[in-house]
Structure 1
Amino acid sequence: MRIRAPPKEERHTMRVICTNLEDAYQQGYADAMESVRKKRRKQQEKKARRQYYIKQKLHGVAMLIFTALVIPLLDGDATIALLTVPMGLILIFSKEMLIVNKYYWENQRED
């Protein structure tokens, strides 16, 4: 028994289906790669934001330590504490971006 090739119209239909499947595969792959890029970008942004706020809190702690170290040097005059203690506490507990640096300006452009 001999196997014959399908008719010409059927071969054309099969080629079109194969071409469509390849296009769909490539589109799906491109979409998946874009989703991976977005997820990675989002993770990097979250990490940068977390690092910014950690730095801000550390600046607040440094301000309080600075106050504690300077008061004895000024013979117990705690006038400097009227400025530095509130500033340090605000830096520690604030959820706003208070320190102006490169990340601050990049974030302001996006908003």
Structure 2
Amino acid sequence: MAAEALIVEDAYQKGYADAMEDMRKKKEQRRQREQEKKARRWYFIKQKAYGFVMLAVTVLAVWATEGDITIAVITVPLGLMCLFGKKMLIVDNYYFEAKKG
């Protein structure tokens, strides 16, 4: 009877240890997913900021050249693509990590 109790106790402890390990792994995976989401969100915030800056530079350049809008032919479409695009357009470290992984 005592031997059976020890076997049951040992099995319980192994099961508990396995459950705790699974819980740690799931917690780590959840944390990693949240970090990836945060990095992606910041990437697109930065991309939108670049688009806004590009449009602002266009306005300043047109003003500085007294109405010559030649620069707008390139910068306006690029700025709008950065502002409203869903694709990754800015090449930085996150871009390479996302393309690799």
Whether TM exceeds 0.5 here: the answer is yes
Letter in 2 for 1:66: V
Asked if residue 54 in structure 1 is aligned to residue 45 in structure 2, the reply is yes
The runs of 4+ residues in structure 1 deviating greater than 2 Å are: none
Alpha-carbon distance in 1 for matches of 2:100, 2:68: 43
Determine if the alignment matches structure 1 residue 12 to structure 2 residue 3.
yes
Amino acid at match of 2:12: L
Among 71, 80, 86, which residue is 2:71 paired with? 80
Report the count of equivalent residues.
101
**Could you tell me which amino acid in structure 2 is paired with residue 22 of structure 1?**
Q
1:65 aligned to 56, 61, 64, which one? Answer: 56
Query: Which letter does structure 2 place at the counterpart of 1:31?
Result: D
Identity, in percent, stands at 39
User: 1-side partners of 2:33 and 2:72: how far apart?
Assistant: 40
Distance 1:32 1:92 in 2: 40
Partner of 2:84: 93
In 2, Cα distance between the equivalents of 1:57 and 1:21? 54
Larger radius of gyration: 1
1:76 aligned counterpart, secondary structure: coil
Deviation at 1:75, TM superposition (A): 2.2
Q: How far did residue 23 of structure 1 move? A: 0.3
User: 1:12-53 deviations in whole A, cap 9, x for unaligned?
Assistant: 111110000000000000111111111111111101000000
Moved more, 22-31 or 68-77: 68-77
* SS of residue in 2 equivalent to 1:100: coil
Structure 2 equivalent of residue 6 of structure 1: none
